[in-house]
Structure formats: C-alpha cells, structure tokens
Amino acid sequence: MDEEPERTKRWEGGYERTWEILKEDESGSLKATIENILFKAKRKRLCEHHGQVRLGMMRHLYVVVDGSRTMEDQDLKPNRLTSTLKVCITTQETSN
C-alpha cells in the first residue's frame, strides 16, 4: 500500500519549526525577534479584517460637469455634455 504523506492541519501550519525563526541579538535576548513576529502577525490580522469592511462599503460618485456654453459645442456628437455623461456612466459601470 502507498502511504499517504503526513498532512498537518491548517491551523498547525504556523507552528512548524518555530525555533528556526528565533534569533538572538547582541545581548542574547530574543525579545526583539518575538516583538517583530507579533507585529507581523498583528499587521496580517488587520489586513484580513479590513477586507470584510471593504466588501460592505457604500460608494458614492460625484460628477462635476462644466455647465457653460462650451459644453453645448457640436464638436462631439450630439454635444460635449452628452458625450461626457456617456463616457462617465460607461466607465463607472465597467469598473464596478
């Protein structure tokens, strides 16, 4: 029979060979290394936590359009105002 390789649980993955990560500083202390590991773990948790907030975030878009007479010029058909709004709506729909 083929033996299956021993698999570790997902939650055990962070605890493999922890002794290789630790390093002593000049005074023989492990404090700085441990603080660095804790800082990285905390930062990773914060990044994961904010991902959920972004999913539920409401987005608002304000479009400020020049309403002067130049927007009524016919160089873009039918006019600049209509062309600007079409491009804005198309861009917003494709990005979201």
> 28: which 2 tokens?
């023989």
Confirm if 22 and 33 have CB atoms less than 8 A apart.
yes
* pLDDT at 72 (0 to 100): 76
Segments of the chain with pLDDT less than 70: 1-22, 30, 32, 49-58, 96
| HSE toward the beta carbon, residue 10, CA cutoff 13 A | 0
Q: Where are the domains of the chain?
A: 18-48+60-94
- Going by C-alpha positions, the residue among 36, 13, 41 that lies closest to residue 23 is 36
**pTM for the full model?**
0.34
Q: In sequence order, what are the residues at sequence separation of 6 or more whose Cβ sits closer than 8 angstroms to the Cβ of residue 65? A: 71, 81, 84, 85
Provide the pLDDT for residue 3. 56
E strands, 1-96, are none
